[in-house]
Structure 1
Amino acid sequence: MGLTKKTKGLVALRANYCCEYCRSQEQFSPSQFSVDHIIPSSKLGGDDLDNLCYACQACNNFKYVDTSTTDPITGQNFTLFNPRQHHWEEHFLWNEDTTELIGITPIGRATIVKLKLNRQGVVNLRKALKSLGLYP
C-alpha cells in the first residue's frame, strides 16, 4: 500500500529534514530525500515509525536492503547504524573541520563504508555550507 503522506511528514519532521545517516540537510542537498525502512520490507520490516528514518536518496541507495556489513578494522560483520536504536554521537565523530565523519565503533565504521558517508559530493557540500556559516 505504501506510506501515507502524513507518515512521511512525521518522519521528515522528526529528523529535522536531515538525512539520519550522513546528516545532509534536505534544503541544500542535490539529492532527493525519502523514507527509509531501517529493516527493509523484504526482510519483514514494518511501516511503523520505529522502523522508519529520513534519508537522502544516495544513503538510501547505498544501504539498499542491507542491515549489516563488515567493519573495515576488525573484518567482522556488524549491524548498520539504526537511528531508532543507536545514538549517533556514540558511533560517529566529526573530523577537525567537520567535513568528514569518523567511525568510533564497529557500527559507525561499517556504516560509513557501506553508505559512503564521506562521498566526495557530501564532503564538498559540507565544506561549502560551512564556509557560509550554514553547517553543521
Structure 2
Amino acid sequence: MSTYIPESLRNQIADKDKARCCYCLTSEANSGIPMTHDHIQPISQGGKTCFENVCLACRSCNEFKGDSTQAIDPLTGETLSLFNPRTQVWFEHFAWSPDFTRVEGLTGIGRATVVRLRMNNPVIIVARKRWVVSGWHPPAD
C-alpha cells in the first residue's frame, strides 16, 4: 500500500536521514540504490505518516522488514522490538565488522534487526566491499 507523503515531510526526512538508509546506512548518493519511506510502526498496525514514524530505508531493508515490528534475538531467543531510528542511536545497537562489510548487532535489538532485515545478505556484502575500496564506506558518522 502506497501512502502519500507531503513534500515538506519528504524533505525533512531526507535532511535528517542524510539521504541514506536508517537501518544499514547505505547511501543513495554513493550506491545508486534508491531509498524508500518506511513506516517504523506500519500503517496496518496503526502507524501514522509523520516525522516520528517515517524514515528512509533502502529497498532491501524495507522489503525484508515488511510489516514487522519485532524479531527474535538469535543469541537469546527473546522476541524484541526492531531498531527504531527515530528514538534510538545506530551506534549503540550496531557496529561494522573489521572489514566494514557486515553490520553486527551489539544488543538484542541490534541482532534481531540485523537478522530480520537481512542486513548482511550476499548482494549487499559484495557491494560494501566495492564501496570500501572506493572510499565511500563506512559513513563517517
Unaligned runs of at least 5 residues, structure 1: none
Paired AA for residue 51 in structure 1: N
1:101-116 equivalences under 5 Å are: 101-116=103-118
Q: How much is the aligned-residue C-alpha RMSD, in angstroms?
A: 1.2
TM-score, with length taken from structure 2: 0.91
1:24-103 map, 5 Å: 24-103=26-105
Partner of 2:128: 126
Q: Structure 2: which 5+ residue stretches go unaligned?
A: none
2:18 & 2:123 partners in 1: Cα distance?
21
> Separation in 2 of the partners of 1:27 and 1:121?
18
1:6 correspondence with 2:8? yes
Contact kept in structure 1, 2:27 and 2:33, CA below 8 Å = no
C-alpha displacement at 1:57, in angstroms? Answer: 1.0
Instruction: Give the number of aligned pairs.
Output: 136
Identity of aligned residues (%): 38
1:30 Cα deviation after fit? 4.9
Matched to 2:101, the amino acid is: T
Whether the 8 Å CA contact 1:70–1:77 is kept in 2: the answer is yes
Once the two structures are superposed, residues 113-132 of structure 1 have per-residue CA deviations (whole angstroms, 9 ceiling, x without a partner) of: 00001111211111101101
Which stretch shows the higher mean deviation, 24-33 or 53-62? Answer: 24-33
Whichever residue aligns with residue 22 of structure 1, its letter is C
